[in-house]
Structure 1
């Protein structure tokens, strides 16, 4: 029986596989899936079993999840289709006889008003109704969501609509380590983990990114409607711009503020301070 990590060609899924290997998990027990499995050839060379899995192709999911004991369902990025895609993965896991499915969700997905969380909430409902034990990994924001934008920030500054709201940040690898801990550990079935690191305002974050990068990073705070217009002007499609601007509305209202204790429990340590996490992310 195997541990299956879906979406292993993506940033988070790949880091989960790396964390499993770092924990000493037998590579032959790990199945890493991707739409294009050839991009995982380096993992295959290290003994990880690589299989093709396309969330839109149920036959591929049945083959990919065959023999699965525990499954990490990494949420997809096809907004508007994710519930159907995730349902297909869950159904394939149940058909394979998996004992546990963990899902990467959003903070307080079942109660939050964030537009981004709607498909997460619907997926959680599907998983909770399925005939399999579940774990909900409700990840807050990644540090890299901001540090990856350094060239834009250096030119235009960090523009948001969060006011003095604080956002809980942790590195992708820390969320990946938490997921790996669930996949190899016991006592997690039925648990919901609200995962987040230390919290900062965007103004504080701009200063920390500037200090770590040696660049002057300004910060401009707009209202939500104005931020949506800025995003659309930068080429973000209207529906996506609405969702991303709404994230800042949620930050302003405390919807991405998460205590650190669940992430600390799974990591076995406190998550990195934001300044340290920013420096690590910028070095990557």
Structure 2
């Protein structure tokens, strides 16, 4: 569905991996008035050559918010990476969207976003969701589950050590490919109406045991899943030299997996992108070289 393809559609963070895929998807699906917001317009010269209106957009610069949102009907607000500051950034962007006359915001949030202080990055997403709801605009909150590609950050180390550490009681994570999530966001910008919250997931919840088996299969090396208590997992990550803030976020994620928040499976990817979501195995197989580096 592309009922809004002729409205003016803004994608924030368009020079990032996620935002660029979303813009390219909008082009592929016939959107005629695309605005790509970025802190560095020079990075999007290729998209400008395809007819995309590239505008400078810096969430920390109110002047660029005013100019970038001018004349925009619908906004895909890609959550910024400024952890600790992004609530203020995103609240300012929501206000700018409303002032400019936008009618709908699509926001990339996180699963089980809630205000609990022990919910990792959840509070920033939760309060952004609240600000969007309070704006009076139409909205589609996309609670993107863990990107499958995040496994590439430590996959090679896990394979080399032969050990995958997690928590006792892990109930699995419905890893979603970043491209699938970005195309879903573009589809929501083109078609979603009203006010809704959607979980954006892969096709199945994958447990740590299953993930270890997948690493073993792709590498040809033995990998075992080791389940620990939260206290022991935290101590191990700290002993490995990870910063305490990072440890707290990782532990919160693992606890949420035990609680079942990450095991939710939805049809949002197929519904909004028109494609079946990639499996974790497919994503890792496509990146096998990185796992065996």
Unaligned runs of 5+ in 1: none
Verify the 8 A CA contact 2:170 2:254 in the aligned structure 1: no
Q: Which residue of 1 aligns with 2:4?
A: none
Q: Work out the CA distance in 1 between the residues paired with 2:242 and 2:181.
A: 27
Aligned positions of 1:1-284 closer than 5 A: 1-26=7-32, 29-110=33-114, 114-156=119-161, 157-161=163-167, 163-185=169-191, 187-197=192-202, 198-214=204-220, 216-282=222-288
Task: Return the alpha-carbon distance in structure 2 between the equivalents of residues 131 and 175 of structure 1.
Answer: 25
What per-residue deviation string (whole Å, max 9, x for no partner) do you get for residues 94-141 of structure 1? 111111111111123248763221111101110001032111111111
CA distance in 1, matches of 2:259, 2:280: 20
Per the alignment, in what secondary structure is the counterpart of residue 76 of structure 2?
Answer: strand
Q: Is the 8 A contact 1:147 1:209 kept in 2?
A: no
Matched-pair contact (CA < 8 Å) for 1:66–1:96: yes
Number of aligned residues: 281
Does the 8 Å contact 1:260/1:270 carry over to 2? no
Q: Unaligned stretches of 5+ in structure 2?
A: 1-6
Structure-2 separation of matches of 1:152 and 1:214: 14
Contact 1:166 1:200 (C-alpha < 8 Å) held by counterparts: yes
The structure-2 alpha-carbon separation of the partners of 1:30 and 1:235, relative to structure 1 and needing over 3 Å to count, comes to farther
Structure 1 residue 161 displacement after superposition: 2.6
Deviations 1:27-65 (A, max 9, x none): xx1111222222222222332222221111111111111
Task: Check 1:54–1:225 CA distance in 2 against 1; reply closer, same or farther (3 A cut).
Answer: farther
Deviations 1:48-103 (A, max 9, x none): 22222111111111111111111011111211111111101101111111111111
The answer to whether the 8 A contact 1:137-1:193 is kept is: yes
Partner Cα distance (2:45, 2:239) in 1 = 39
